[in-house]
Amino acid sequence: MVSDVAVQSILNNTADAVEEMIEGLVLLNPSLKRLGGHNVVVRASLDRSKVALVSGGGSGHEPSHAGWVGEGMLSAAVCGAVFASPSTAAVLAAILHVTGPAGCLVVVKNYTGDRLNFGLACEHAKALGLSVELVVVGDDCALPHRGLGIAGRRGLAGALLVHKVAGAAAAAGGSLEKVAAEARSTAASLGTVGVALKTCHPFGTLVEERIAAGSMEVGLGIHGEPGASLARLAPADAIVDEMLRMIVSTEEGCSYLELPRGERVALLVNNLGAATPIEMCVVARRAITALRSVHGVCVSRVYSGAFMTSLDMSGVSLSLLRLDDERIARLDAPAAPLAWPASATPAADAAPLPPPELPSGAQTSYVPAADATTPPILSSEQQAATLRAVRAAAEAVCALEPLLTEWDQKVGDGDCGATLQAGGGGGLA
């Protein structure tokens, strides 16, 4: 449903948003520079004796792609308008600026505009005598083979792991052939599925809520494209289980990522924009435990955060990458971009530590039962009357929760109604 209300945003002008975003990013990070005349972010200091790595695409996916520029990852990121591919000229300018004798690897996600504009820029660069390779990442596991047409699988958040592996290979001094081969191998070992409760809202457009309350879209893209299916909203564990099932499916026409038991994987839990930290931890919890207990794989590395967003989309995506020793070393290699997580080794379990013994009377979450030999203070009639009064009060408190919450939102932190409802519910139990 499209409303007549425009999307609100903290911007000066939607037309200048990408350029001003880049200026802010460069001011926040002295190791980055903007390439004059283009919305291209590059490393302030380049070692052109090593293979350069260029990526990019439409904006609106931050920190992708400019947030991954830095030693150990991208040499340059080319930023288009929101959800729009950058121009061929901007891509070519980025390639020319960063490429030295070792050559340049260009990595893009599988979208028509990106393949066209980045591909043309690569051909221009080759015509100028530069050594350039192009790798296209398509890690979407939501659509069946027969539904892909000639476009193929969409590129999603798993592309970030290709950046990391290829960037580490380049930093280690690998040849263009070696870096490109590792990037292609990594892309072929990836699978991603996303789920959203609300779609994204591009700046300056009318608010559209395509996903009805109580529903979720499964297998949607990162530009607000409709999902592969619409389903009723389910508990987090059930959602995660379905996402993992789709990624590792062996069904005919839907098999993309073969994951035998005992395989080592990296798990990427990606915030599509507006998922809360609580939701992200709940999703990560189930994904890690289900991969271990249900699928029988070893989660060797896990990354959780906002890596490839879709503006303010309320949802998450899960990516799995098959690992070997070399790929683990690439993921663990140093990387300068501030958005890259510092640590990625998951804990063996979430078992709690033993709690300290509390002093007598400190435990107020329950009322101790009376000694069976102690005679009742109240008569049976008085007990029944007291129970009726307590239940009536509890029911009244629960019924007034919306009003109590509304009042507390005006003068406090908005939790009074819910707190009293929880207490009333205890009285009704």
List the catalytic residues.
223
Amino acid identity, position 315: G
Partners of residue 231 on adjacent β-strands: 216
CA distances from 406 to 58, 213, 372, 397 (A): 41, 22, 44, 14
Residue 212 backbone zone (phi > 0: left; psi -120 to 50: alpha; other: beta): beta
Q: Where are the beta strands (DSSP E) in 67-214?
A: 76-82, 104-109, 132-137, 190-198, 206-208
Axis-axis angle for helices 380-399, 416-428 (nearest 10): 150
Amino acid identity, position 335: A
Taking the C-alpha atoms of residue 85 and residue 113, their distance in angstroms, rounded to an integer, is: 5
Partners of residue 105 on adjacent β-strands: 53, 133
Nearest 5°: the CA angle 307, 67, 44 is 160
Nearest to 217 by CA among 236, 232, 202, 206: 232
Q: Name residues whose C-beta falls within 8 Å of residue 224's C-beta, 6 or more positions apart in sequence.
A: 83, 199, 200, 202, 310, 313
Amino acid identity, position 12: N
Amino acid identity, position 94: A
Taking the C-alpha atoms of residue 383 and residue 192, their distance in angstroms, rounded to an integer, is: 60
Taking the C-alpha atoms of residue 74 and residue 106, their distance in angstroms, rounded to an integer, is: 10
Which DSSP state fits 378?
A: S
Q: Is the separation of the CB atoms in 26 and 20 below 8 Å? A: no
Axis-axis angle for helices 176-187, 159-171 (nearest 10): 160
Taking the C-alpha atoms of residue 348 and residue 299, their distance in angstroms, rounded to an integer, is: 10
The residue assigned the tokens 């990606």 is: 270
Nearest to 107 by CA among 69, 146, 50: 69
